[in-house]
Amino acid sequence: MQKSTIIPTLNVSDLSIGFMSKQSSNILFNDISFKLNKAELVGIIGPNGIGKSTLIRTLSGVQSHLAGSIEIKQKNLKQFNPLELASELSVVLTEALATRTLSVFEIVALGRQPYTNWIGQLSSLDLNIIEKAMAITQIDDLKYRKSFELSDGQMQRVMIARALAQDTDLIILDEPTTHLDLNHKARTLSLLKKLCKEEGKSILFSTHEIELAIQLCDKLVVMLAEKVYFDSPDKLISSGVFSKMFPSETIEFDTQMGSFRIKK
């Protein structure tokens, strides 16, 4: 098989995450290992407070890791300078924007910053990429709207378009479905699926929408208290990982339907 020759876009091995200070290091999680290949959609799921956000922040370079290694296309994350990293990895975060006056076009255009000159001038190539990013995410008609006029769902698509404009093979999103209704949750995740299949992006995202993630993702990183599982959704279901996720007296997992039930 040719499998051994595939270079993973993101390769995480034996990673320890947590917070480090001068006095002590507070390790949240040990031995996290998973791979993200080209055109794969991978979700990170797990109960609240398990460390999903910390993992996302560590992978996107906001926070440093305590042990193990993170490699993007076989190059260690620590060896990237900010500008190099910006052309390999783009992020969509949960934090609210500081400004409300930028137009949709201006926000998406900021994604071109790693490639523009010292004053941020957009070339015709940049403009093409921006237009394409807005077309894929279906926000063309919002082009001149100010960000404060957008709904949460629209805003999420704008931030995804900005990440697309950054033109990176790897995109990491922190809980892209929070604050959205079911329709917009599904739309956002379908969009991510489409970006993987049609644009060849590798996308990693954290979410609480376990049932949607099971249906759409190629692989899942399941963070449970005792260890991290990494496999395709159907294998995870048959090995009974989801049943361990929540206390069995409140919620049970239906392996036939791939969904959770509240115990009455």
Partner 1 sequence: MITNRPTRSILLLLMLTILVFMVNVFFGSVNIPVKEVLMSLTGQEVEQESWNYIIQNYRLPKAVTAVLVGSGLGVSGLLMQTLFRNPLAGPFVLGISSGASLGVATLVMGSALMGGVLGGLGDSKWGIIIASSLGSFLVLLAVLAVSIRVRDTMAILIIGLMFASLTSAIVGILSFFTSAEQLQQYIFWGFGSLGNLSWNEVFILGIVFFLGIAFSIFSLKALNSLLLGEHYAKSMGLNINKSRILIILATSLLAGGITAFAGPIAFIGLAIPHIARQIMNSGNHSTLMPAVIFIGAIVMLICDSIAQLPTTDYTLPINAVTAIFGAPVVIWLLVRKKNMIF
Interacting residues toward partner 1 by CB under 8 A: 60-62, 82-87, 89-91, 93, 95, 97-103, 106-107, 110-111, 113-114, 116, 118-120, 144, 146, 148, 166
Cβ 207 vs Cβ 214: under 8 Å: no
Is the CB of residue 34 less than 8 Å from the CB of residue 5? no
Task: Note whether 221 and 42 are within 8 A (CB).
Answer: yes
CB of 36 to partner 1, least distance (A): 17
Task: With beta carbons less than 8 A apart as the criterion, state whether 65 and 16 touch.
Answer: yes
Nearest approach in angstroms of CB 202 to partner 1 is 16
Q: Rounded to an integer, what distance in angstroms lies between the CA atom of residue 226 and that of residue 248? A: 16
In the complex with partner 1, the residue whose CB is nearer, 202 or 214, is 202
Q: How far apart are CA 208 and CA 235, in angstroms?
A: 19
CB 204, min distance to partner 1, A: 14
Q: How far is the CB of 248 from partner 1 (least distance, A)?
A: 38
Minimum CB distance to partner 1 smaller for 30 or for 116: 116
Closest contact distance (angstroms) between CB of 122 and partner 1 is 11
- Do the Cβ atoms of 94 and 178 come closer than 8 Å? yes
**Shortest approach of partner 1 to residue 181 CB, angstroms?**
25
The one-letter amino acid code at 126 reads D
**Nearer Cβ to partner 1, position 78 or 235?**
78
Question: Is the CB of 146 or the CB of 208 nearer to partner 1?
Answer: 146
Burial class (CB in 10 A: 0-12, 13-18, 19+), 224: middle
Closest CB to partner 1 among 49 and 118?
Answer: 118
For residue 131, the Cα-to-chain-centroid distance in whole angstroms is 22
CA 53 → CA 17, 81, 133, 194, 215, distances in Å?
10, 23, 26, 24, 22
Contact 193, 182 (CB under 8 A): no
Where do the H-state alpha helices sit in the chain?
A: 52-59, 82-86, 104-110, 124-136, 152-165, 182-199, 210-216, 233-238
Cβ closest to partner 1, residue 14 vs residue 149: 149
Of the pair 61, 233, the CB lying nearest partner 1 is at: 61
Q: CB of residue 167 vs partner 1: minimum separation in angstroms?
A: 11
